[in-house]
Structure 1
């Protein structure tokens, strides 16, 4: 198992403001597979993703990624973990506005010892002709492609996607999902995709449903639907 989470608990606040968000999450994801984490707002799905990504500390429990225990790492070790193993894609692209597409990607390229080939990545993501444009000159879909390229240039073994199609229309959402599917197939990248969208779960290997901080369902798709054939995006 590439990713293993055991009895993970996370809370915020204290006294009257205390809220337990994760109430003992246990799950695992195989290497090279795509997994959707789904649930309503406030269910804990983004908190789980942030804990796995080392962006949030945990109260108790274990997070093991590629044999490395992540929960409890100090700040320097967490920085190394994020730099060496992770790529992040968010709903809001978080691009640097005064840098070009290529320069935004290079910011992460310089962080890793074994980056992917820039020209190949630009080609795969359909960004070659846009590489010298600034974010304000791009459509939402093109900005998300740039954000994906920035995450992938590091050649991460684990890609964490928080609502990657949340700000996009249905046609562009399908294009981005086809792209993620192709990346998974081409590079063998393990992916965790947090989403509200009920259709995306049909294209992945595994689905984890979270309700009120606990796993309500955890199953594998026996028959996956290609991203190009998904309905109601």
Structure 2
């Protein structure tokens, strides 16, 4: 910690922790620096690996001194959003306040739950078929903002165009577009110049928002069975 303080960093982040107890210890140590501290867990709506619910996790972190709480990595945006909403509800029930943060995977992993994407048979070298589209990220960013989350980002699997999609979706709230948006038209506007009329017809937001992308892989299942039974693991991890 001292080396970071010598550089006068703006804040500390505790992240990628799946046991809230460990995160609390880290927050307590880092908070002694006098700097703001953010703490993000890689847990599911079911809670941490000891079964502590997301709302209680958030309360423990804020009482330990965390200024920002939320979720990072391990699971897809929609699952992470559900978890942060539960954290927010827990804080409200306890009469506590904190900034909310979210940095999910850039992949669709709805079947993972506690184990996260490392339990998938495709992990780590065949995850591309689960990649988010930029339009998925637009929806994710809007839902996150509407939920009261103001630190909206991405973790493993997010590409540069995904981060740009967040900035573009938030352009009205932020008051400007990111510089990279100069290279293309929003919501496919550049397609208006395409040589094919059926492609030009896709140059609008409604088309891309309602699209259900196909995988192009006839024998692939829509979801996989996680390699490990994390329900049993959760039960075995509970304190006796």
**Shorter-chain TM-score: what band?**
0.3 to 0.5
The structure number with the bigger radius of gyration is 2
The structure whose residues are more often strand, as a share, is 1
TM-score, normalised on structure 2? 0.34
TM-score, normalised on structure 1? 0.35
